[in-house]
A = this chain, B = another copy of it.
């Protein structure tokens, strides 16, 4: 039996299944056969839509990142919101990933041991697109006297790189440990930005505890 779908629809279907399989078994251990069997399509069909397995991975990263980057941008550009809230909000948008309710359990596993490649590609995208955005935000904070950062871009890079890798394997941490780690991260972020102590922590609490 042969089912025909529009290219776009089929591509999304492939990405959905591949994303789940890569997260479950890792990029290397999940085979293209796994993908096509789960969907019920032939080998040729997969390669009609994507020219290689790696291209599928790239498309997944692209999809994930463009979603969360769009979310972050929306927050960043909303000048009605106070600056600290915009920075914090942007981070939340990025680290929550997904944005949509795609499936948190999948994304919990996605940054990790076997998925080194995916993590790498994600970070490239972050460095290229998000760092400049955050950098501008920091400069804005400099102008308003809230921050005192001598190297806004590099500060942004340091914060983003760390937050993207440090909280990877944090499933095995107890909630208290995780909380402590986040607190330390915020503290150091304030130092890096030359911000007043607790200034960011306050914004986070405000957002988390329902505005």
A residues at B contact (CB < 8 Å): 28, 113, 116-117, 119-120, 123, 150-151, 154-155, 157-158, 161-162, 165-166, 181, 184-185, 187-188, 191-192, 194
Smallest Cβ distance from A160 to chain B, in angstroms? Answer: 10
How would you classify the secondary structure of chain A's contact residues: helix, strand, loop or mixed? helix
> Is B119 in contact with A120, judged by CB distance below 8 angstroms?
yes
Kindly list chain B residues whose C-beta atoms are within 8 Å of the C-beta of A161.
161-162, 165-166
Partner of A113, one of B120, B157, B165, B184: B120
18 new A-B contacts at CB < 8 Å, known A154-B185, A191-B191: A116-B116, A116-B117, A116-B119, A117-B117, A119-B120, A123-B165, A154-B184, A155-B188, A158-B158, A158-B162, A158-B188, A161-B161, A161-B166, A165-B165, A188-B192, A191-B192, A191-B194, A192-B192
Q: A157-B166, A161-B165, A192-B192 are in contact. Are A150 and B187 (CB under 8 A)?
A: yes
With the chains together, A166 CA to B155 CA distance in Å?
Answer: 12
Q: Considering only CB atoms, which chain B residue lies closest to A151 in the complex?
A: B184
A-B CB contact pairs (8 Å), 20 listed: A28-B28, A113-B120, A116-B117, A116-B119, A117-B117, A150-B184, A150-B187, A151-B187, A154-B184, A154-B185, A155-B184, A157-B166, A158-B162, A158-B166, A161-B161, A161-B165, A162-B162, A165-B165, A188-B192, A192-B192
